[in-house]
Each structure stands twice: as C-alpha cells, then as structure tokens.
Chain A
Amino acid sequence: MMTPQNTLLQARRFRWWEPVLWLLAFVAPFAMPSHALIINEIAIVALFALSLDLILGYTGIVSLGHAAFFGLGGYAAALFAKHVMPDPLVGLAVGIAAATVLGAVASLTVMRGTDLTRLMVTLGVGLVMLELANKLDWLTGGADGLQGVVLGPVLGQFEFDLYGRTAAWYSLTVLLVFFLIARRIVQSPFGATLKAIRDNRLRAMAIGIPVTVKLAQVYTLAAALAGAAGALLTQTTGFASLDLFEFHRSADVMLILVIGGVGWLYGGILGAVGFKLLQDVISSITPQYWTFWIGLFLVVLVLVGRDRLFRPWTWFGAGRKAGAASNSGGH
C-alpha cells in the first residue's frame, strides 16, 4: 500500500545499515587506537558538514562564511574552559549558545537579496569574525592563538587521554545526537517547508510559507550545529587559533559536503571520511601543494557534474538522466 502517509513514514524509518554504520564508528577507536585522533577529527568535520547541509542542501542557501559560527563556538568553549570552568559538556553548551546568538543575528543577512549578495554577506560575516578574533588579542591571543585550555573529564568520569580515544567517543556521541536531531528536523513538516523553499521560493511564498522566518530559523539552527563542531574541536585539541575562522574552513566544508552529496544527511559524514582520507594521502605525497589537487578535484567535479562523478559508467551517452534518477534514492 503506497498511501502518502506510508511514503512519508517510510522515509523516517531507519534502514538496516544505519545502526551498523554507527556501531562501526563507535568500535573504530577500539579497533584502531592509533587512529583515534583522526576519527575524532572526522567526527567534528562531519558535524560541521551536517550543519552546512541544513542550509545548503535542504534550503539552497550558498554560504561562504560558515566558519564564523564554527570559530565562535570554538573560541567560546575554549575561553569558558580556561576562565570559568573546565567541564566539557557545559563548555559545549556555551559554545552552542554563542554560535546560536550570532546565527540569529546573522540570519538577517540571508533573508534578502540574490545568491550573489548572500555569498558576499556570509563571506563578510566570516571575515568580520576573523578580524575581531585577530584584533581582540587580549582575549583571544590574536595570531598566536589561545593556549592552555585544559578540560576536565567528560561527565566527571572519562578523562581525555593522550591517544584521543575519549575525545573520539565524545565527538562521535555529540555527532550522533545532533545527527538524530537533524534527521528528525528534515523529516518534519518544517523540513518539508525548507525543501519547498529550496525548490521554488516564489511558489513556497504563494502557498503561504513565511519564507524569511523559516530561513532565519534554519540558519540559526545550522549556526548552533556549527558552533558545536567548533567547540568540540577546541575542546579536544586544547587550542584555539585564528585558523578556525579562515576562509579555507568555509571552502573545505562546502567541498566535503559536495563530495558526500548535498541534501542527504549522510552526505556530510561520508564526505568528511572521504575528504580526511584524501587529505591524508595527498599531503603525504606533496605536503605543500595539496591545495592544488583539491582545486583540480573541484574543477573536474563541476565540469563532469556533481551527480555523475562517482558514477563513471554514466559519463558517456545518456548519463545525465540515469545519474539524476539513481541519486534520488537513499534520502
């Protein structure tokens, strides 16, 4: 029976491979203790990409300044741990709160204008945050970064160890929690309105969706998630630097999302795994010039077509349709 209700419910059901995937992720720090640090990093980047997916993939806003929230969350958590109290979870909450506030303010910038102006102002917000972090050096340490961030044990139980295993589990848990929240959100009526706005803003307006309000809401939400990712990074590395706000962060996360697949929550996670492995391999070959290969990858990706890159058999002949059709599965 394919009633509309059934179809909607089916999208919500967990597929068999989803728990398996998460189980594998959580076993990984056990199985490969020497790779715990990179697993931690992947989890953080995946959360960041998940946050961008909410606005880029589900709402169609191209943002070049997502690092603003990432960095603010990171700095807020690091400063909190340094000056107020070292509890990681409270610090995480502070980071998220700070990024949420900035997101709510910055959401003013995405409501109006075209893609071009939106690109500009999001980029501008990122740069303003970078300048602020750079100039307020009495607070942030300026270009030297903020050092001496020491964190207490998670939940008062699990100490951060040198190998990063606690860090990896901590980040994975936060990622899982936010993933489930994001999954719930994109499958709710709210998520449906977002997709309606993405597909045709004018039509969405015509059927009575308050477009600007929804945009502001999802932008704030995405900012909160990005803040969480930034907080995780500074907490697990014990260090915050201007690098958190740099343009390449915003560009990388967009690339990660595009590698994995836009508008699909697992896209960010798979993209993060792919990107980190790619980065590892390339930078072990040419440490200095790995951006060249990333650039080449981007150019080829766009010229070949995002849908088709990972389906080489569709490159010739009537590939276009086949690629689009098989891409629509698995959402």
Chain B
Amino acid sequence: MLTILFDGVAYGMLLFILAVGLAVTMGLMNFINLAHGAFAMAGGYITVLLMQRLNVPFLVCLPLAFLGSALLGGVLERTLYRPLYHKAHLDQVLFSIGLVFMAVASVDYFVGSTQQIMQLPEWLKGRTEIGEGAWMLGMGHYRLFIIAVCAALTVGLQYVLTKTRFGSRLRASVDDQRVAAGMGINVNIVFLSTFAFGSGLAGLGGALGAEVLGLDPSFPLKFMIYFLIVVAVGGTSSITGPLLAALLLGIADVAGKYYIPKLGAFIVYSLMILILIWRPQGLFVRKGGK
C-alpha cells in the first residue's frame, strides 16, 4: 500500500513538472494552449534519440531536453503564439489542436510510430525495500530520483516566483499588462521567457517521464487531458494548487489502476467533472482569487 502511495507521489510530481508550464500560459496569460504536451514530447524524444544514436549519458540529456524544448517554445512563442494572445478562445483551441496534429504526424514521419524504449543507467535501475507485509515500502530508484528532481524544481520555482525580481515582474505583467508596461517592465520579454521556461520544464518532464509514461507519437493527445486536469482542478493563482492537484491525480490514478483496473481512467475523469461542476474555478482557489 505504501508502495502504491510512493509510486503515486512520483507520478504526481512528474505530472506537476509537466503541467506547471501550462498553468502559467493557460491560467496567467489566459491562453488555452492544448499543444503543451507537444513540448513534453519534444523533450522526451530529444533524450531518447540522444541516448540511442549518440550514446549521450542520461544526466547530460536531461538539461539538453530542457534547453531544446525551451528553445522550441521560445521560437514558437515569438512567431506564432504572440499574435493570438488576444484572440478568441476558439481560435486558440483550433490553433493549438492544429499544432498537436502537426507534431504527432511529424514525429511519426521522422522517428516512427513505435514506442521508444529508454535505457536507464545502471545506478537508477535498482529498488530498495523497507518494512514488511502490508506496510512494505518498495522504492524504485528511478522514481526516487524523479521525486528528488521534481521536489528541487518545485522549491526553486516557488522561490523564483515569490522572492526574485523576475517573479514580481511576471506577477505584475500578468495582473495588469498595461500598468506593468507603464512601470517600465518589458512585458514581451517576461512572457517570452516564461513561456520558454514553461516549455523547457515540460520537455524536462517528458524526458524524465519517458520511462514511466511511455513515449510514442500520440503522447501529446494521450496526456493532454492529464495536464488539463492538473491546471483546471488546481487553479492557477499559485503553484501550490497545481502541485496538490497533480499529487492527488497521480495517487488516484495509480491506486485506481492497481485496485480497480476494470474501471481504468474512468474514476479520474468523473472525479474531475464533478469537481469542476462543483468549483469551476478550481479546487484550491481562495475566494475572490482570480
């Protein structure tokens, strides 16, 4: 049982890193970006291809996956996304679905539609077990690694958003673009770097998650709903909301698939619908929040 909890936490942490960039674009910039999973897929494929074809060590691949996806995100933000910030939501939905379709077909064309296998380094393959019986806790080393990386990132993110100059600029730009620009903040640069950073995080998540989630060209479509759940249920006024939502979702999903495999993802979806009907602004949003 503790093992399931542990796996759920690892899964949830992963989902959080994957989705947190989306929380920013979707919640803060009010842009419905369904193509977020495409950046995650980009990171995953960068890692897998580097490891398979060029034998780059795993730990080197992770920052490369981050940089690659961040670059991609930055370029796309500047060229395609920016003109659409103030368009209708329908346009944004159509545009990002279009991007997803293109990403899926391109990856299929260039890499092939088979699921990619990731060769983890030896030191991440093991498994440690503590305790016995029903309370046994089995920790896969790789999942432990994921939790450590994601926890460090979360703390870092929280620090950047609340304590640094950049964080206050971002929050100012988001709250009122015109006033922020009037105060001498270059809103375009702030948004560009935030979008790129969010895409980079998605890419890193994709790289970390390739082994756990599986990586094939349908990745952006398959996990789109999960990212959306994290953002919609968690709300977007802080990063603790999405974090809690991601952990909840991760644990519920792992436990559900373990105990009631017959129902599959049914529970998660239904839960989300009920939560959103009950609290359309998200579960962890304070009253009067955005």
Residues on A close to B: CB < 8 A?
56, 62, 64, 108-109, 112-117, 119-121, 123-125, 127-128, 131-132, 134-135, 247, 251, 254-255, 258, 262, 288-292, 294-299, 301-303, 306
With known contacts A117-B276, A295-B101, A124–B269 Cβ distance under 8 A = yes
CA distance A62 to B87 in the complex (A): 14
Q: Determine if B106 and A127 form an interchain contact, defined as CB atoms under 8 angstroms apart.
A: no
A247 contacts which chain B residues (CB < 8 A)?
221
A125 contacts which chain B residues (CB < 8 A)?
273
Q: Does B29 contact A (CB under 8 A)?
A: no
Q: Determine if B94 and A120 form an interchain contact, defined as CB atoms under 8 angstroms apart.
A: no
- Residues of chain B at interface, number, CB under 8 A: 43
Q: Does B214 contact A (CB under 8 A)?
A: no
Q: Determine if B266 and A119 form an interchain contact, defined as CB atoms under 8 angstroms apart.
A: no
Q: Determine if A299 and B99 form an interchain contact, defined as CB atoms under 8 angstroms apart.
A: yes
Q: Does B97 contact A (CB under 8 A)?
A: yes
One digit per residue, 1 when the CB lies within 8 angstroms of any chain A CB and 0 when it does not, for chain B 61-96 equals 000000000000000000010011001011111110
Q: What 4 new A-B contacts, CB under 8 Å, besides A251-B101, A291-B101?
A: A124-B225, A124-B270, A131-B263, A288-B108
A262 contacts which chain B residues (CB < 8 A)?
90
Q: Is the interface of A mostly helix, strand, loop or mixed?
A: helix
B107 CB → nearest A CB, Å: 10
A114 CB → nearest B CB, Å: 7
B259 CB → nearest A CB, Å: 15
Q: Determine if A131 and B98 form an interchain contact, defined as CB atoms under 8 angstroms apart.
A: no
Q: Determine if A119 and B100 form an interchain contact, defined as CB atoms under 8 angstroms apart.
A: no
Q: Determine if B89 and A294 form an interchain contact, defined as CB atoms under 8 angstroms apart.
A: no
Q: Determine if B265 and A131 form an interchain contact, defined as CB atoms under 8 angstroms apart.
A: yes
B88 CB → nearest A CB, Å: 9
Q: Determine if A298 and B101 form an interchain contact, defined as CB atoms under 8 angstroms apart.
A: yes
Cross-chain contact of A135 among B32, B93, B103, B264 (Cβ < 8 A): B264
One digit per residue, 1 when the CB lies within 8 angstroms of any chain A CB and 0 when it does not, for chain B 268-287 equals 01101100110011000000
A299 contacts which chain B residues (CB < 8 A)?
80, 95, 98-99, 102
CA distance A115 to B91 in the complex (A): 12
